Amino acid sequence: MNHLHTLIKTCYLVALLIQVSCQSGPVEVNTERTYGVMAKDAVVSTAHPVATQVGLDILKQGGNAYDAAVAVQFALAVVYPRAGNIGGGGFLVYRKSNGEIGSLDFREKAPFAAHKDMYLDENEEVIEDLSTKGHLAAGVPGAVDGMIELHKKLGSLPFAQLIQPAIDIANQGVVLTKREAAKLNDHQDNFNEINDYTTHFAKVLPWNHGDTLRLPDLAQTLMLIKANGRAGFYEGTTANLIINEMERGGGIISLEDLKSYKSVWRDPIVGSYRDHKIITMGPPSSGGIALLQLLAGSEPHDIKKLGFNETTTIHLMTELERRVYADRATHLGDPDFYDVPQAMLLDPVYLKDRFSSISLDKKTSSQEIKEGEVALIESIETTHFSIVDAWGNAASITTTLNGSFGSKVLVKGAGFLLNNEMDDFSVKPGVPNMFGLIGAEANAIQPKKRMLSSMTPTIVEKNDSLYMVVGTPGGSTIITSVYQTLLNVIDHDMTMQEAVNVGKFHHQWLPDHVLYESDGIDSATLEALQLMGHVMKPVDAIGRMDCILVNQNQLEGASDGLRGDNTAMGY
């Protein structure tokens, strides 16, 4: 724990320096606590400092939170290519200053030619890597259509003004952080294996911190979107380049798939936790339903009294998580194709019965919760950003390519990566995806269907006013990271930055072990949990939260500078 405390103190000092540079005037800070960036009017928190600056600049130019969100999304496609994208998709939850709420589903879709058994061999066994690497792994991208729809409904500045910063950065280049240089180096073999030409990501010598990555082909694609809007991506030159790529690599996305893709405005899922209103994403994201189930299971217990990351607290939360993920595997999918039993899953009577078998003295066997087998969880790459503007409008957006750099397919001549989201379907019922998540018929592959997601963009109200904007990357750990962060603030009275910094843990029913950050749980607590029957597995990091807290008319922007290059800025 001493190492974690040192990191938190260091982060606090960094936050104070950022605070001085980003604020228009002094803000009183209690120096005994750890705070993020404090601002009076507006905050942007993203996975990359350049993208954060782009969003802040748009706000200073008079744009609202949704203008800034569009600009950030396109900027992330340039500066954070392993997860930021125009070749993937995601979800938005919004709350306007007048209290209006809504959500946008710009999740990818299965192509028309997709079918239930497309990743199985003649013996009906899953073909290794087919749903995760290469052209057949890609779903129809939704990010560009999503940003067009977001701007159309909620934007205020001209669209061209919002996409121009990304064009400029792609042409001029972005200076690589140490982490991003390392990630590019890690995937050189994949880029060379999947692509039959020398991509802009390729380098004879290793990429180094401080090198400049230029993406001129991506700049041209962004210019086509700037000039032609949606048609600049889903039709014409860019669409033809995608189809050429599909033909080259055996993919199945067609011109009809691209032209017919539409994002969908959906009603968000709304619940409550200790007099706080929780506004979150519904299916085809599993995140919102799962989050509200976890909060419902927590509310009868005095979480504050049980203590932060104490034995009983971790045990209780783990037992809740295991049951919720078992429900996820069985009942959740695309509501346009499957009748998701949302009312049942959130019914208090059902949840009371679901959680009634939890003992505070010992763990329940995962096989008793629900049968199934699963391999080890693998790494993930998603990104989240949170924005609050000077009028009080809020945007919470999580977007992804799925795996790191998606399918590793860089569309020749267009400069962007395609996702590998097809792996988020239940490729075969009972067989885990790359994140160890099991699915059933509810999430089986069908043409034009959206694959299930764990993304959990969330907004919280307190006393009918905006209180928190939260979210994180992390694949299957997204839901549990958001859950813990909310409890950290509401139950454990943490600042937003403290809630982001502290150690986290995760259980997803199967595999039957608890992932935990090495510095997050002390040895005595670990031993006690093991005696209760839990298998504890240390990992380097869980989640990279980007969050905003409204506290006494001040905004606290909390970004995860410990686990990533995440940066919050405000004014």
Catalytic residues: 382
Instruction: State how far the alpha carbon of 254 is from the alpha carbons of 3, 111, 240, 464, in Å.
Output: 52, 7, 9, 46
Report whether 316 contacts 360 (CB < 8 A): yes
Pairwise CA distance, residues 314 & 216, whole Å: 48
Tally Cβ neighbours within 10 Å of residue 468: 28
Report whether 382 contacts 399 (CB < 8 A): yes
Pairwise CA distance, residues 268 & 457, whole Å: 10
Report whether 404 contacts 208 (CB < 8 A): no
Question: Residues near 128 by Cβ (< 8 Å), separated by ≥ 6?
Answer: none
3-state secondary structure of 551: strand
Report whether 22 contacts 44 (CB < 8 A): no
Amino acid making up residue 486:
L
3-state secondary structure 412-442: CCCCCECCCHHHHCECCCCCCCCCCCCCCHH
Number of H helices, E strands in the chain: 20, 19
Supply angle C-alpha 476, 479, 482, rounded to 5.
135
Pairwise CA distance, residues 418 & 85, whole Å: 8
